[in-house]
Copies of this chain bind each other. A is one copy, B any other.
Amino acid sequence: MAETQAANGAQPAGPRSTLPVALDAMGGDYAPAEVVLGAVQAATEYGVGVTLVGPEPIIAPELAKHDTSGLHIDIVHTDEVIGMDEHPAEAVRTKRRNSITLCHELTRDGKALGAVSAGNSGAVLAAAIFTLRRIKGVDRPAFGGVFPAANGKRVMVIDIGANTDCKPPYLLQFALMGTAYMRAVFGDESPKVGLLANGEEETKGDQLTQEAHRLIKAAAPTAGINFIGNVEGKDINGGEVDIVVCDGFVGNVVLKTLEGMSKMLLDTIRQELTAGPITSVGALLAKPAFDRVRKKLDYQEYGGVPVLGVNGVSIIAHGRSKARAIKNAIRVARQAAEAQLPQAIADGLTRLGPSAADEAPVTSEAR
């Protein structure tokens, strides 16, 4: 059964692997029901502990709907919740005991492996930076979004929206942080890093990209970055690149373009398939194939978007997360924590030497 634990209680941190993942029970469109269900599924399937953070009077009855015997699920109570439309930094500052911040405090204080929330992503970023602090040497923490790619592969696009205006050294750090994540979570020792541009040639790109290209190319051997040069939009899902580096403005546009396009395409196919009796029969027979396509393209499999560059694990699940997405985000949080992701990023930065961000031309700020 669930047990309640005070957020600022004195419970000593156990050995790492027995720590729970702190989960914002009130985050996302389907909270708390699907979030709690996701916690139960994760605890059942992976044997991971989960600390649900949010209003106990809401969460406890939800949790009571499930058989939690033998599972390690507890509740940390707070009344304060940040809405999806609230101003992120302001909400985090004024609601000191909001569920997102508490998840990060549990992580900071060694009471949780990491924080997971499907809520306001700006608030998660703010809480992660305020609470966990940036890793020494990181100029800008970033969001690394993982998407399906061709041939059953997956690709990380970093940054997908934390930083709209970037300097070239930020992009170098994105390459490094993305590499550390793909190693930690996907076990890919030498993920291929591409720089997103409007052409493959080294001379292509806007000023930001051209400067970033030079920086990454020069630093790659030292930093352990497997840099394959510029990649284009068509390469993102092509399966030949594992990490696509870009500023957060472009990354956000790409992310939402992919979402919109796949929706439009699948909608069009559905409309056409059901337009006549014969194609409808065909669609029925073909349904198992479409189900497999949908599963292959499902973001829920990929476990959410890590906030990279802070001293701890912080994972943002999609706002429309159902239980499975939450379950996978919890799994990813544990993997990232057990692989000591923040330490891996810190080590990479040390190898790289001091950041050159302050030496970058002022003009680059305009991206």
Contact = CB atoms under 8 A, between A and B. Distances in A.
Nearest to A203: B87
A273 interface: yes
Nearest to A365: B363
A249 interface: yes
Interface residues on A, range: 35 or more
A249 B205 contact: yes
B161 A198 contact: yes
B288 A278 contact: yes
Contacts of A273: 286, 289
A11 interface: no
A134 interface: no
A273 B209 CA distance: 40
Number of copies: 2
Nearest to A209: B249
Which among A205, A246, A258, A287 has the greatest number of chain B C-beta atoms within 10 A?
A258
A282 B287 contact: yes
A272 interface: yes
A272 B257 contact: no
Q: Which of A232, A272, A287 has the most CB of B within 10 A?
A: A272
Nearest to A234: B260
A292 interface: yes
A268 B287 CA distance: 14
A254 B255 CA distance: 10
A267 B153 CA distance: 14
Given A281-B285, A289-B276, A262 B265 contact: yes
A37 interface: no
B285 A264 contact: no
Interface string A180-219: 0000000000000000111100001111110000000000
Interface of A: 149-150, 161, 164-165, 196-199, 204-209, 232-238, 246-250, 252-269, 272-273, 275-276, 278-279, 281-290, 292-293, 296-297, 361-367
